[in-house]
Structure 1
Amino acid sequence: MLLPVEAKKFSLRDYQIDVRSQVYDYYRCGIKSVLVYAPTGAGKTAIASKFIADAISKGRRVLFCVHRVRLVKQTQKTLLKHFGIESGIIWADYPIDYEKPVQIAMLQTLQHRELPPDIGLVIVDEAHTSAYYKICRSIFDTYSGGIWALSKCFFVGLSASPWRSKTTEGFCQFFGAIARAPYPQQLIESGYLCRARQFGYNGLIDYSKLDVSSLGDYTLKSMQRVCTPQLNDEVVEKYLELCPQRKAIAFCASVNQSQDLAAKFSALGITSAYIVADTPEEERVTIFEKFASGEIQIITSVCVLCEGFDEPSVEAVILARPTRSRALLVQMCGRGLRLHPSKEDCWLVDFCENISRMGFPTNRYPTPLCPTFKRSEELDDWFKECPNCHAIVPKPSRICPNCGYVFPLSENSDIEPEELPPFGEIFSLGQKRQAKYYRKLIVWAFKEEKPRLVVEEKFTEKYNYNAPPEWAQYAVFNNQSRLINYNQQIYLRYLLRQPQSINGKVTAWTVEMMQLEFGERVDCQLKRWWEIFQEDKPFNSKEEMDDCYKLKVEYYQYQTFAHDLLALLNLAYDEGLKYYLDVTQKAKAKIEILYSLKDKPKALAAAYLTSSSIEKQIIENSINTELKEKIDSAIVHHWDSIPVA
């Protein structure tokens, strides 16, 4: 039933409008079932409510399927408040009213009931889980008439985490296409979610004691071996050291762990409560209300808070259990990212190395409909823990963006040539050995900073002929695209130091060598270190460079091409360090000259004014007051006759 008088004005955000358009475009193309990816906090309920309102306006009846109680009431409230649409409830002892145009159904209840008639739109919430309920397949078959491609009913799946723990499972058997909202970091940058900060404590559990179930995640029994009272002691201790004032939710592996953790916090004066599957609904409501008001500071749970819990005042998420599921990790961490006036960010505190193994939950990850057959942790080995503040940062980071800790330099892994690229040439065994030898020489020359001419000389000396240029194709970097911009810049720098690149300039030879390594469309433009920092000129001080570096690490780590961006940033940082070392040495030498010229005003003024701005800054911070006064006086009297740098 429509109640337009009571409906309040409602409008979608730009990206929500785009998602809606994507879905309708698929429908117009004949695809009847679409999965919508929208991260936690992106407004899945708002998007779904708009789909429902659209369907009702076209005379279509709607079935909205959920598997969490809170989602039933949340959706019913949104529909009535913003669209004036009353809905029937199919759950527990609620009276059935199939006359209402919208039916909000608990899947667990619906499997024991008769399906409502004449449904024209089915929406399945939390589809990454719900789609695998047996009743869900029955719903699709019933309303499609058994042939989904010819269905007169349309289907939408909603998910903030469209990944399955089992690598052989996907969603292409349920949905023909996927519509995507912005990923979490994009929503953070757009101001729709709060900023996340990650902290990790590694080595607290023994992964050798964990077993993997047939569903792809760790078994409950094996998690109970490692999620012990001793681990809870560590959780409490570290939480009190790190963020004792923050409102937090904690995810545990078992009911016993959840109860024990809540008890330990309460014993230390931090008001806590636990919610598990058997917690009565009235008690849950009371706990949620007290948490929202601040009477309760910490809620511990097992999986109850993973879906449908949307309290925005959460300031910290405690991960006190391991998981192999990216979907679960994203769901747990997403509970803390909603905006709230009382907070600027949310701290994700991981005691089980989940983020280190699987990546930041705010990152952009592939969202394929079909199985990937790869584990989440196999896709990336990208993070390390700051030993000073325990922040989780990308492995390439030279400086911790959280506390400023400087990581010791580590050696780069060796570059080894792989199998020969497909030249289109058929090699004899002898030719294959020669081509591999030539390619190894090229790698050796690059790593050891040897002239490229030496490569040709050594090959000719051994085999009495010149190697074909094609044998050098992709020799150094094996046509790897992950670090393409970084590789191009370091290789270009190497080539510009060769005599064939006359006076360090790009020549036809330079371009030829770059094209052999990277292909015809290679970028042969040298980027100076401050240009990589996106600056017009060098920073005024090393401290300014350090600050900029930390900000860029914090930003780049969430980007799609983070590996390449950070490798390039580290190249710029290393060159910047060398630059400031050279400037400092020059400034020290200039200071000695200034002291020697203190009684020769014109020469003194000239020596100072021909210094660079950074050298002047170092000089001014190092010389005594007497010399400063003499320099100032000399400049005033001899300004017109002195060349200025």
Structure 2
Amino acid sequence: MSIKLRPYQQNLIIKTKEAFFYGHVSPCIVSPCGSGKSIVISEIIRTATSKKNHVLFLVHRKEILEQIRATLLLNKVDMNFVELGMIQTVVRRMNNTRKPKLIVVDESHHALASSYKKIFTHFNDAKIISFTATPVRLNGGGLGDINDILIEEVSTKWLIENHFLSPYKYFAPEVMETFQLHVKRTGDYDLTELDNQFTERKIWGDVIAHYKKLADGEQAILYASSIYQSKKMAASFQEANIPSEHIDGKTPKLVRDEIIQKFRDGEIKVLCNLDLIGEGFDVPDCSTVIMLRPTQSLSLYIQQSMRGMRYRPGKTSIIIDHVGNVTRFGLPDMERTWSLTPKKGSNATKAEAPVKICKECFMTVLQTDNKCPHCGAVFKVEAKAIEVDESAELKEIDEQTFKLDFRTPEDCKSMKELYDYAKTHNYKRGWAYHQGKARGFI
């Protein structure tokens, strides 16, 4: 073997073999971002193909295919027994696809789509191994439709504490009124409305000012809510003499590669994009993430917020969340209890530690503190709730000073629950009514 496995990676493989031994046929390996998932995948495939078993590897993005192919070749996998396929292609050519002994699915939180199920049904004798950092659907449900056991070994917090990921500081507004946004059938926010909000300058905090205050000179990836917003932000950074460029899915490959190389060489400080730099997209190491795209997808949130946490000695990643995603999901390294069939309301908690931001150093402190423990600034009056405008300041969020209600509107099953949810989150009058009407409760 050319690639050396870390002990926790070896344990994942051992647990998977045990799962098959005890009769499971479709385990899901929970592999946090930055844990070396592709290494584990390559070793599982290498072991299977060494016994001349055919393996079908399924993904939903071509970037992941390119990366896994390189890892398989590095690990000296016999590619004669491997078929790497885009789900969109394989589902149309199942009759021309060699029957696999094993199906490996990457980013399996997407695997509940009908296309995946058609393939699993067609090759119903094959065992399935799924990989994901977040075994949960966009609507909050589990992956019990396709998996029969979850296999876990280490958490994001453990990876940070053991120097496999960098520590981080998280800055965010106190409130984000996403109740004004409608939810599409896919379960996430309507990007058109996000684009309109940006046009109307409804954004939390001055993006460039906060970059200068919190991560001046650091390389950052900015996640926008629209191509228009991404381009506008790149232009705004350029006007502030901060080298910046925009890329999206339609950017010609040669141009995109040239921009990414400039980012790699440090010529570009802020790389703006719309959901492009996410699952399977390889970009150079950076230390800072700027989030301008509110989402209801935990998977998307984890992928984007942790993009700057690749380990480097002495590095501290900075996450600048202008849209309050942390209020919906918590911090990236929060301990989460995964389940194939989550219990309703099992994640619901109440905020118990109100916080405020120190205007001198931006440190997050308890609302009851009279003095900043970081810089020593004295608080003469309590900080008031931040209004929605460009003057808003972002605060640092950490696990000691921040707790939240995990529930989303989709968890509400009645008008009463919607009204309770609205009251808990201080939503404006009428929000619950419109949500209930849209979901058929009224």
TM class, shorter-length:
0.7 to 0.9
The within-5 A match list for 1:150-549 is 151=125, 153-167=126-140, 169-202=141-174, 206-228=177-199, 230=201, 231=203, 234-311=206-283, 313-340=285-312, 344-374=315-345, 378-379=348-349, 381=351, 384-388=355-359, 389-392=361-364, 403=375
C-alpha distance in structure 1 between counterparts of 2:281 and 2:365, whole Å? 28
Question: Once superposed, what is the RMSD of the aligned Cα atoms?
Answer: 2.9
Residue 140 (str. 1) matches residue 120 (str. 2): yes
Opposite residue 183 of structure 2, the aligned amino acid is V
* Alpha-carbon contact 2:112-2:143 (below 8 Å) kept: no
2-structure distance, mates of 1:409, 1:155: 58
Quote the residue 1:124 is aligned against. Answer: 105
Q: 1:352 to 1:233 in 2, by over 3 A?
A: closer
Contact 1:202 1:352 (8 Å CA) reproduced = no
AA aligned to 1:121 is: L
Q: Distance in 2 between matches of 1:108 and 1:400?
A: 54
Q: For CA contacts below 8 A with separation 6 or more, give which structure has more relative contact order.
A: 2
Query: TM-score, length-normalised on structure 1?
Result: 0.55
Residue 90 (structure 2) aligns with: 110
Deviation, structure 1 residue 554:
6.3
Q: TM-score, normalised by structure 2?
A: 0.79
State the partner residue of 2:10. Answer: 17
User: Which of 73, 76, 79 matches 2:69?
Assistant: 76
Work out the CA distance in 1 between the residues paired with 2:367 and 2:156: 21
Q: Deviations over 1:539-592 (max 9, x none)?
A: xxxxxxxxxxxxxx9686799xxxxxxxxxxxxxxxxxxxxxxxxxxxxxxxxx
- Counterparts in 2 of 1:407 and 1:135: CA distance versus 1, 3 Å: farther
Which residue of 16, 21, 24 corresponds with 1:31?
24
Q: Which runs of 5+ in 1 are unaligned?
A: 1-7, 88-99, 145-150, 411-552, 560-645
Structure 2 residue runs without a partner (length 5+): 383-396, 404-442
Q: Is the Cα–Cα contact under 8 Å of residues 12 and 46 in structure 1 kept in the other structure?
A: yes
The amino acid across from 1:66 in the alignment is V
The code of the aligned residue for 1:158 comes to F
What number of residue pairs does the alignment pair up?
A: 385
1:364/1:558 contact within 8 Å kept: no
Counterpart CA distance in 1 for 2:369 and 2:100 is 54
In structure 1, what is the equivalent of residue 38 of structure 2?
45
In structure 2, the CA distance between the partners of 1:233 and 1:380, relative to structure 1 (3 Å rule), is closer
* SS across alignment from 1:317: strand
Instruction: Give 1:160's aligned amino acid.
Output: A
**Which one has a bigger Cα radius of gyration?**
1
Q: Distance in 2 between matches of 1:77 and 1:249?
A: 25
**Stretch moving more, 382-391 or 39-48:** 382-391
- Whole-angstrom distance in 1 between the partners of 2:16 and 2:153: 11
What is the CA–CA distance in structure 2 between the aligned matches of 1:555 and 1:77, rounded to whole Å?
A: 38
Deviation, structure 1 residue 102: 0.8
CA distance in 2 between partners of 1:265 and 1:397 (Å): 36
Identity %, equivalent residues: 28
Contact 2:49 2:78 (C-alpha < 8 Å) held by counterparts: no
Relative to 1, partners in 2 of residues 1:164 and 1:380: Cα closer, same or farther, differing over 3 Å?
A: farther
Deviation by residue 1:251-297 (Cα, 9 ceiling, x = unmatched):
11111111111111122221212222222333322222221111211
Greater per-residue helix proportion: 1
Retained in 1: the 8 A contact 2:45–2:77?
A: no
Contact 1:60–1:120 (CA under 8 A) maintained in structure 2: yes
Query: Deviations for 1:477-514, whole angstroms, at most 9, x for unmatched residues?
Result: xxxxxxxxxxxxxxxxxxxxxxxxxxxxxxxxxxxxxx
CA shift digits 1:50-87 (9 cap, x unpaired): 110110122211111112222111111111112x2253
Shift of 1:224: 2.3
How far does residue 359 in structure 1 lie from its aligned partner after superposition? 1.0
2:412 — aligned with what? none
* Alignment partners' CA distance in 2, 1:223 and 1:56: 47
* 2:100 partner amino acid: I
Deviation at 1:391? 4.2
SS state at 2:39 partner: helix
